[in-house]
Amino acid sequence: MRWTTVTSPIGELKLATDGTALTGLLFAGDPDPRGERDDAHPVLTETARQLGEYFDGTRTEFEMPLALAGADFERRVWTELLAIPYGHTATYAEIAARVGQPRAARAVGMANSLNPIAVIVPCHRVVGSNGSLTGYAAGTDVKSRLLELEAGVRMRAEFKAA
Instruction: Pick the catalytic residue from 51, 95, 118, 123.
Output: 123
Q: Which domain holds residue 76?
A: 72-151
Position 2, amino acid: R
The whole-angstrom separation of Cα 4 and Cα 6 is 7
| Angstrom distance (rounded) from CA 2 to CA 76 | 26
Question: Is residue 63 domain-resident?
Answer: no
Q: Examine the residue annotation and report whether 136 is marked as an active-site residue of this protein.
A: no
CA distance 26 to 138: 9
pLDDT tens per residue, range 115-154:
999 999 999 999 988 877 887 777 788 888 999 999 886 5
DSSP 64: S
Task: Establish if 133 belongs to a structural domain.
Answer: yes
Percentage of the chain modeled with pLDDT above 70? 94
Question: In this structure, what CATH number is given to the domain that contains residue 97?
Answer: 1.10.10.10
Q: CA 143 to CA 122: how far, in whole Å?
A: 10
91 contacts 123 by C-beta, under 8 angstroms = no
* Residues 77 and 145 reside in one and the same domain: yes
Say which range, 47-61, 95-109, 144-158, has the weakest mean pLDDT.
Answer: 144-158
pLDDT band for position 63 (cuts 50, 70, 90): very high
Q: Which of 56, 80, 98 is the last residue of a domain?
A: 56
